[in-house]
Amino acid sequence: MNIPEIRILVPGGGYRAMAPLLRPELEQKGLSQLLEQEFLDKKAAEITEAWRPHAERILHGMCEALGLEFRQNLVEVHILPFEGSFSWPLTIGYHYFDKDRAVDTITHELIHRLLVDNTKLPFDYDTWPAWSKIIGDEPNAPTFIHIVVHTVMKYVFLDVLHEPERLARDIADCQQYENYRLAWEYVESHDYRHLLDAIRSSYDELLPTVHTAEGR
């Protein structure tokens, strides 16, 4: 199984490009410390230390749960002084600088990455038709994809790490974001292991379609 190296760092070019743009807002909020390279480097080191003991179990767990392998051998996690997080490039903002929260957020974003960039299907293959048979067509796009992500997260937190407090914290944190809240409500109202089995099977069901399209 291909388990990538996860490298957590402050990207030099990204930092130099973003810091001047973010400075006025951060200084107004009294958060100018976030603009200091030394502070960000320290956070990257702290998050690396927090991530390392869990890394192998988390990565193996999500791969085994989905029956997928990462295509990449290295995934960089960028630590930058803005609020949010996203999966491509995988970036963690200051709302998630707390060490445990950072581990949960990296897990979340790596699941996004694995779902679209794996060795089973072409990059960013359209899995929506297969998943809509499982989830239905009703949820909007951000809710829909996070139902899948949260299903895998629940499995990792409960069945791999055996840390239900991570699950409870993520559900609580997501109450302020409608799409994330609705996704958790869906997952919590269904059998997550059944959902996960169906999601994993959907990749195998898509393989003949991929091979047919490639053979044309």
CA 216 and chain centroid, separation: 34
Bridge partners for 160 per DSSP: none
Composition of the chain by helix, strand, coil, percent to 5: 70, 10, 25
- Domain residue extents for the chain: 1-119, 122-216
- What number of CA atoms fall less than 13 Å from residue 101's CA on the CB side? 16
Please state the rounded mean pLDDT for residues 195-201: 96
Selection from 83, 79, 96 nearest residue 26 by Cα:
83
Please state the rounded mean pLDDT for residues 183-208: 93
pLDDT band of 210, cuts 50, 70, 90: low
Asked if 83 and 38 count as a contact pair (C-beta separation under 8 A), the reply is: no
Directed axis angle between helix 141-155 and helix 128-135, to 10°? 80
In the predicted structure, residue 212 carries a pLDDT above the cut 60: no
> If you ran DSSP here, which 8-state letter would residue 67 be given?
T
Q: Of all helices (H) and strands (E), which one includes residue 90?
A: strand 90-92
Please give the model's pTM, rounded to 2 decimal places: 0.93
32-71 residue pLDDT tens: 999 899 999 999 999 999 999 999 999 999 999 999 999 9
Residue 92: phi and psi, rounded to 5, are -120, 125
Residue 7: phi and psi, rounded to 5, are -110, 120
In the predicted structure, residue 211 carries a pLDDT above the cut 70: no
Asked if 59 and 29 count as a contact pair (C-beta separation under 8 A), the reply is: no
85-100 residue pLDDT tens: 999 999 999 999 999 9
Q: How many helices (H) and strands (E) does the chain have?
A: 8, 4
What is d(CA 6, CA 29) in angstroms, rounded to the nearest whole number? 31
148-187 residue pLDDT tens: 999 999 999 999 999 999 999 999 999 999 999 999 999 9
100-119 residue pLDDT tens: 999 999 999 999 999 999 99
